[in-house]
Structure 1
């Protein structure tokens, strides 16, 4: 692979590609470069016959802080104020569909994706790991479906894919409270397969599993993934379409403006239900 990426680095050895999140936002936050490059990168990996499995990791102390809200604030600007009419809502709806498609490129990649999580995995980070096939974590990992705390309904994939990973009660607890959970709790509820003492152990486990997958007949591996995905694909697609339309209709609010303002002003938000 010769393409140069801004938000990722890619290494390839023994039929395993290792994709590393590198920002450029703090904590590998997901800004414009991430969303533009992710589907292109996974499209290349999907088409590369030398790649049979993919390991997805984050650089530094954290996997990802999720959506880079300051960097993406311009995409929400048309929804602010009293005149969020059909045109800005349509533009926003298209943006949500584009972000959804980026995460879906990971889920639909024919090459199995194994991820290792360390530190914070927030919001969009959970969207991303929910699109992976297998998830490991280091003991210091912390997870949060935090969109409710910034006056949003998570719309990029968590609500579409997590119901097939964790139980309904655990998903509702995470989604309705926006609470943080540690790696031990994540393993207990089935969000991650196994927890390791440190990030090195988690990454090593991901590499071992990817190597085991890569040693199997590649077309059969792709067939196994295709068959496993078949029963859930229609439900995932339906959920993504519904939440994109819902947010385009209902996301504009004083609470959303307050959430964005509080991020820039580095203070707790004060929501009023308006």
Structure 2
């Protein structure tokens, strides 16, 4: 693949035969999503969407996992301002703006006029699920595992999962994932419709994603854009309303003793003790 000239910290971008591959590279462990990810993703997908030579995009992760989700270490300061006792309107307003900015990074993928295909292997947790819920097609390797895990941190998922997964999964399956924070394997993910198909390993999954991308790239690009536009139009208002609502909800209610306990328990690798405060 021919690598693009743009240098990013959180992803690499390679283009060959009208297909771009965007690979998550961290720098956090397990391709965790830190400040660089949220800042760079809109630029990456904006440029690819404007490039007429790119007709399909494959999104994958480097190493053994797709993504561990939000980089809690790198993003800790984002939460600390609203965790302070008696947080006033200003830090809550700033936090609300941060949520909207992070939502915008995932929106850049969802709003991209160029078709997107996720190739998932290993762990896909929290923000990773937010990200794949924004693409058009999802493939997974047999070792893939998925979790809408925010509830276990005392967080209402706020950058896309709860807005987009209702358009992908049945209500019962979504509520089970979001309310329990449980992990599911690739077979279960395929059964409930979270992924289109499961392949033997990461290499086979990525190859399948590129094969589908090549099929799309061979079709008339303006018509492909039109198909995406018509399909996306049916969900734009619903998703936007949900994202606005959860951003306001979290700015108001996310700060809690339970959130502090959830984060502390995660770092200490122990079960949390939530008290509802």
With the length of structure 2 as denominator, give the TM-score of the two structures.
0.98
1:115-158 deviation line (CA, Å, top 9, x unaligned): 11001000000000000000000000000000000000000000
SS at match of 2:13: strand
SS at match of 2:75: helix
Is residue 93 from structure 1 mapped to residue 96 from structure 2 by the alignment? yes
Is residue 201 from structure 1 mapped to residue 229 from structure 2 by the alignment? no
> What corresponds to 1:50 in structure 2?
53
Of residues 271, 274, 277, the one that matches 1:268 is 271
Of residues 85, 99, 120, the one that matches 1:117 is 120
Q: Give aligned pairs, total.
A: 274
Is residue 102 from structure 1 mapped to residue 105 from structure 2 by the alignment? yes
Shift of 1:9: 0.8
> What corresponds to 2:140 in structure 1?
137
Question: Which portions of structure 1, spanning 4 or more consecutive aligned residues, are displaced by more than 3 angstroms?
Answer: none
List aligned pairs for 1:229-244, cutoff 5 A.
229-244=232-247
**8 Å Cα contact 1:7/1:34 also seen in 2:** yes
**8 Å Cα contact 1:70/1:264 also seen in 2:** no
1:165-212 deviation line (CA, Å, top 9, x unaligned): 110000000000000000000000000000001111110100000000
> What corresponds to 1:12 in structure 2?
15
CA–CA separation in structure 1 for the residues paired with 2:92 and 2:138: 35
Gaps of 5+ in 2: none
1:6-45 deviation line (CA, Å, top 9, x unaligned): 1111110110000111110000000011111111100110
CA–CA separation in structure 2 for the residues paired with 1:16 and 1:137: 19
CA–CA separation in structure 2 for the residues paired with 1:79 and 1:263: 19
Shift of 1:263: 2.6
> What corresponds to 1:71 in structure 2?
74
SS at match of 1:255: helix
What RMSD over aligned residues (CA atoms) do the two structures have, in Å? 0.7
Shift of 1:81: 2.7
CA–CA separation in structure 2 for the residues paired with 1:226 and 1:128: 19
CA–CA separation in structure 2 for the residues paired with 1:102 and 1:136: 21
CA–CA separation in structure 2 for the residues paired with 1:270 and 1:217: 55
CA–CA separation in structure 2 for the residues paired with 1:132 and 1:17: 14
1:218-256 deviation line (CA, Å, top 9, x unaligned): 111001000000011000000000000000000010001
> What corresponds to 1:38 in structure 2?
41
**8 Å Cα contact 1:107/1:132 also seen in 2:** yes
SS at match of 2:219: coil
Shift of 1:92: 0.3
CA–CA separation in structure 2 for the residues paired with 1:230 and 1:209: 23
CA–CA separation in structure 2 for the residues paired with 1:265 and 1:202: 34
Shift of 1:260: 1.7
Of residues 168, 182, 186, the one that matches 2:185 is 182
Of residues 61, 64, 67, the one that matches 1:61 is 64
